[in-house]
């Protein structure tokens, strides 16, 4: 079987370059728009919602944030 690692590497570099260009234009490879959350805007709003939930529901003991926003 012939050595194909250089072919795969070249293709990966082309794919990476295309992905970078697509992000610059605000699109992913399949044409879906890329959007980013404004963390500074979202976190205070989430805090207000979590406090409201805790205050209004006696059965809710804790609200946790996890993942990329935590």
Q: What is the pLDDT along the chain (70 residues), one digit of tens a residue?
A: 567 777 888 888 888 888 777 776 655 556 666 677 888 888 999 999 999 999 999 999 999 998 887 7
Cα 50 to its chain centre, rounded Å, is 22
Q: Number of structural domains, the chain?
A: 2
Q: How many CB atoms lie within 10 A of CB 50?
A: 15
Does residue 27 sit in helix, strand or coil? strand
Domain co-membership, 46 together with 60: yes
The domain of 69 spans 37-70
CA 19, 28, 23, 41 dihedral sign is negative
Domain co-membership, 30 together with 16: yes
What is the chain's Cα-based Rg? Answer: 22
Q: What backbone torsions phi and psi does residue 15 show, to the nearest 5 degrees?
A: -60, -40
Domain co-membership, 25 together with 49: no
């Amino acid at each position: 079987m012939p050595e194909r690692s250089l072919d795969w590497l070249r293709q990966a570099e082309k794919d990476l370059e295309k992905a970078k260009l697509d992000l610059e234009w605000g699109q992913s490879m399949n044409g879906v728009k890329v959007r980013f959350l404004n963390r500074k805007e979202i976190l205070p709003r989430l805090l207000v919602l979590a406090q409201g939930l805790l205050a209004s529901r006696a059965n809710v003991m804790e609200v946790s944030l996890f993942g990329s926003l935590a």
